[in-house]
Chains A and B, each alone.
Chain A
Amino acid sequence: MTNQLLVIVQIAGRRCALSALDVKSVIEIGTVTPIPRAPAHIAGITALRSQALTVIDCRLALGIVQHAWPTDARAAVVAEGGHAYALKVDQIEDITTAIGEPGQVPGGFGAQWSRVATGMIETLTGPALLIDLSALIAGPDTLRHEAEAA
């Protein structure tokens, strides 16, 4: 797994890595139909051919409400749990190769980042945060619910 291919994206100004195996394609995002009363990080649904994609705003999925970053017109399409999602990020950079296994850093990444990150991973183009898709898609509410349950 040392030569794992990664798609490097920017979320809220941070370099993040998605496993290239998870990313089905990168699309130009068209009209997004909003979903009333859905969780905030779900921006809506959009159509990819005859398929409906759920659009996830990655910044809001991390509980970051600021809009200080530009948003890429392209989105990464991923499949998780039998459903297809389009991830709205700051920018989709490039595909690169991982060096080594994901690891932790002293002090952690902060509550929200730790929730969605598998760990830090070194790549040919520098370090990036390896993202756990299911945690990212679940959105910021899950953390709170877990805290309440505990």
Chain B
Amino acid sequence: MDDLLAEFIAETREMLEASSGEIVAWEADPADRARLDTIFRFVHTVKGNCGFFDFPRLAALSHAAEDALADCRAGRRDPDPQMVSAVLAIIDRIAQMVDAIEAGEDISNANPDGGDQALIDAVNVSRETSGEDGASAVKQGSSPRLHAPASALINHADDGATDRAVSSRRADPSATQRTIRLPVELLDRVMSGVSDMVLARNDLAHRLRQAGNQPTIDGPFERLTTILSDVRDAITRMRMQRIETLFSAMPRLVRDLSAELGKQVMVDLDGGDVELDREMIETIRDPLTHIIRNAIDHGIEPPSARLANGKREIGLLAIAARQSGNTIAIVISDDGHGLDEDRIAAKAIATGLISAAERSAMSRDKILNLIFEPGFSTAEVVSNVSGRGVGLDVVRQNLEKVGGSIKVSSQPGHGTLFTLQIPLTLSIIAGLTVEVSGQRFAIPQSYVEEIVQASTTALDLSHMGETALITFRGNRVPSLMLADVLGLDTSADAARDPTLVMLRLASGDLFALVVDGIHNHGDLVVKPLAPAVMKSGLYAGSTLLDDGQPVLLLDVANIAAAHDLVSDGRARALQPVADEAVKPAHALPRAMLFTDCNGRRSAVRLELVQRIETAPVSAIDCSGPRPRVVIDGLILPLIDLPDTAVPAAENAGRVRLLRLSDGACELLVAVRQVEDAVELAGPLIPVPEDPLAEAVTLVDGQPVTLIDAHELFARYGAPPVVAGRPRCSLPADDWARTILAPLVVSAGYEIVSPESADPDAITIVFDEVFEAAEALGRGLTGPVIRLRDRPEATAGSDTIYRYDRDALLSALTSAARFAHRPGGRA
């Protein structure tokens, strides 16, 4: 509540500051229509805001001023000097009250009547008579400063409330957090400087890794890294704020408005973790509030009317935010009676916005969007809540000022959907990097609902005409091949074993994007793209990966729209209600269902599953007492591998593995097929005979063995071991030490001395040394690479010219594979 109040005060004061110039100008020329509108919007907003705080005096004052100004706007009344003075007096009084509220005074007691009524009368009286009593009331009530609201903050006025407010504000200046204003451009410069620093750090880190361990450098470098990430966080926070701060005020707003209007409205907020520029949040605050007010006042019907139309008594207002690169989409939908096309058209003709001839040529969509025209309102009764047609034209104006847009779509009887698009020139978003046809692309994380990896048959991929559909959790979901979307070659590998990224759009539609693989996710700094590239409609921006490689960010919303996957319908607004009915009262334990290599259906608790890995059979090492697998450079124990090489035949040499973790230890379970995440609704029946089974339960009428994680980790769990680098011994001369060694090290090999006689080490020798050793009968063990001095090869000898880099590297790679395959230690 305090937050809301502080916001109200800050906002009102900001508007006062902004409009003080307008007020002076209006006084000079009361006929100036643009100024009149600005002042009208100010009092209108104050009225609307104080409606849900309990400030009856503020509400009464602003309402009176609004009435008078509305009359002027409608041409029912001329703004004569008395009225102007009266309105200005009210604005001054509002400024005083705001100060008093901030100082924590109870304004209703501080100055019981405070001459409010005199001010209100002055505004109204002058409507009929421009007599003296009106003017004198103004003088009485407003104290001598008519058009200088700012002076209220510093003057020594006789008004008690102001005095106390000012002094108490002065007495305690340190209580509020100190802030300064900075040009955004400066922030941008600092931010791109920090991004450069991060890249330089990454580059340095890469070089340090190549150079090996250097304790004197590593320590300070670690410190630099920590500081840099702190600075980066701070810089990011300087500009960014979660939209939650805006959303958090919504439930209260909706509650108060609906109570006032005798309606029942439920609010559903989604995407509160979307971050956007502070500046943007401030810009969209008013538009959003206006739209919500309109939706509740005009959109959602009273409970009785809803019941009569066969709807739920409680109306639903859904607000969802999604980020896509440089734009944020906010969708506000209600399930009210929708917009009335004919009434809007009639109104537009009546107010002279369009002619009757133009109307007949306009599409429904165009007519609906007329509601954003200045001076338009369809509400027949002017209520205290939503106003006299200032709302939506201001909304559009504010959004367009920052390069955004707004549009509306509506189905009669079913509801209305407002879509706000707000641009972001520079932003940091969480993104997922995917690969298709050998190229990487980023997808904003906020769209990603889930990542599914399964075989084509499990997904029941079917083609309906040109559209591919998959079955996902019992629903048919349209799917797009990213390679087709981008016009890249589809690799056969991906078609057989696709990875699906399930994306949910701001409108609530779900679709699947088929990619070759997932790389990783992380924070991406999104930079705008050149206009010619943006025109393709596929990309929202570009970003740099940690290694400095540029990657394109996909414009998911646009791609979906281009493939007609976005519905304007009611999917989003209606869905949560259905979900609610299904959801059980308490959360059931969830488990990952799979078929193990012996064909047995088993399950493991979902919390344990780190991720699902796919490893080539060659990564499995069976030489030890227990099989092990190398994944991401870690050696992990593998269990449940079948004795025969069944998976090799089934999955083209690859094994599906479940990576389980208890926090410290990790292990892998080989499975034949991963099915789905399920809720364990049935009773768990213990199985004392099998120590590895926690229980047996029923899933969809089929028995499933739940694996006992405690026993599993007790038996097999081991902290992961970093896989050793392949070793290589070099000839003992200066050339090898200074020229050959760096090449071999940078290729990822560890240099060992020839004396270590490591049988796994690859030996690089000069051909004459090799031949001498052979001749002496002391052949070398392990793989050997023979070098020759001259470029020309001698016939019959398997040697490599010592400056042939490519041949040398490929020989190393194949030798390493040879060294590790048969019984090596991986």
Q: Decide: A38 near B550, CB < 8 A? Known: A49-B196, A50-B544.
A: no
Contact B488 A54 (CB under 8 A): no
Q: Decide: A34 near B439, CB < 8 A? Known: A50-B199, A52-B527, A54-B529.
A: yes
Q: Answer yes or no: B214 CB below 8 A from chain A CBs.
A: no
Contact B530 A37 (CB under 8 A): no
Q: Which residue of B lies closest to A141 (CB)?
A: B532
Contact B533 A42 (CB under 8 A): yes
- Among B60-68, B174-182, B534-542, the one that faces the other chain is B534-542
Q: Would you list 16 pairs from A and B whose C-beta atoms are within 8 A, ordered by A residue? A: A33-B552, A35-B536, A38-B536, A47-B549, A47-B550, A49-B196, A49-B200, A50-B195, A50-B544, A52-B527, A52-B543, A54-B529, A54-B532, A54-B533, A83-B530, A137-B532
Contact A50 B192 (CB under 8 A): yes
Question: Closest CB of chain B to A130's CB: distance in Å?
Answer: 22
Q: Which residue of B lies closest to A41 (CB)?
A: B532
Contact A52 B549 (CB under 8 A): no
Q: Which of B189-208 contact A (CB under 8 A)?
A: 192, 195-196, 198-200
Q: Answer yes or no: B688 CB below 8 A from chain A CBs.
A: no
Chain A 41-64 per-residue mask, 1 if CB under 8 angstroms from chain B, else 0: 010011101111010000000000
Binding site for A on B (CB under 8 A): 192, 195-196, 198-200, 439, 486-488, 525, 527-533, 535-536, 538-539, 542-544, 548-552
Partner of A42, one of B195, B487, B532, B548: B532
Chain A 19-44 per-residue mask, 1 if CB under 8 angstroms from chain B, else 0: 00000000000010111111100100
Q: Which residue of B lies closest to A49 (CB)?
A: B196
**Chain B residues with CB under 8 A of A38:** 532-533, 536
A50 to B203, CA, bound (A): 12
Contact A83 B199 (CB under 8 A): no
Interface size on A, residues (CB 8 A): 23
Contact B550 A46 (CB under 8 A): yes
**Chain B residues with CB under 8 A of A54:** 529-530, 532-533
Known: A33-B551, A47-B548, A81-B531. 14 other contacts (CB 8 A): A31-B549, A34-B439, A35-B533, A36-B538, A42-B533, A45-B533, A50-B192, A50-B544, A52-B543, A52-B544, A54-B532, A83-B529, A137-B532, A139-B532
Question: Closest CB of chain A to B524's CB: distance in Å?
Answer: 12
**Chain A residues with CB under 8 A of B539:** 35
Contact B536 A37 (CB under 8 A): yes
**Chain A residues with CB under 8 A of B199:** 49-50
A101 to B533, CA, bound (A): 34
A50 to B439, CA, bound (A): 20
A81 to B611, CA, bound (A): 45
Contact A50 B196 (CB under 8 A): yes
Q: Answer yes or no: A138 CB below 8 A from chain B CBs.
A: yes
A136 to B546, CA, bound (A): 32
A38 to B530, CA, bound (A): 11
**Chain A residues with CB under 8 A of B548:** 47
**Chain A residues with CB under 8 A of B192:** 50-51
A2 to B266, CA, bound (A): 71
Contact B536 A138 (CB under 8 A): no
Partner of A52, one of B196, B488, B550: B550
| Those 9 A-B pairs whose CB atoms lie nearest each other, nearest first | A36-B486, A50-B195, A54-B530, A52-B542, A50-B196, A45-B550, A83-B530, A47-B550, A52-B550
**Chain B residues with CB under 8 A of A34:** 439
Contact A83 B550 (CB under 8 A): no
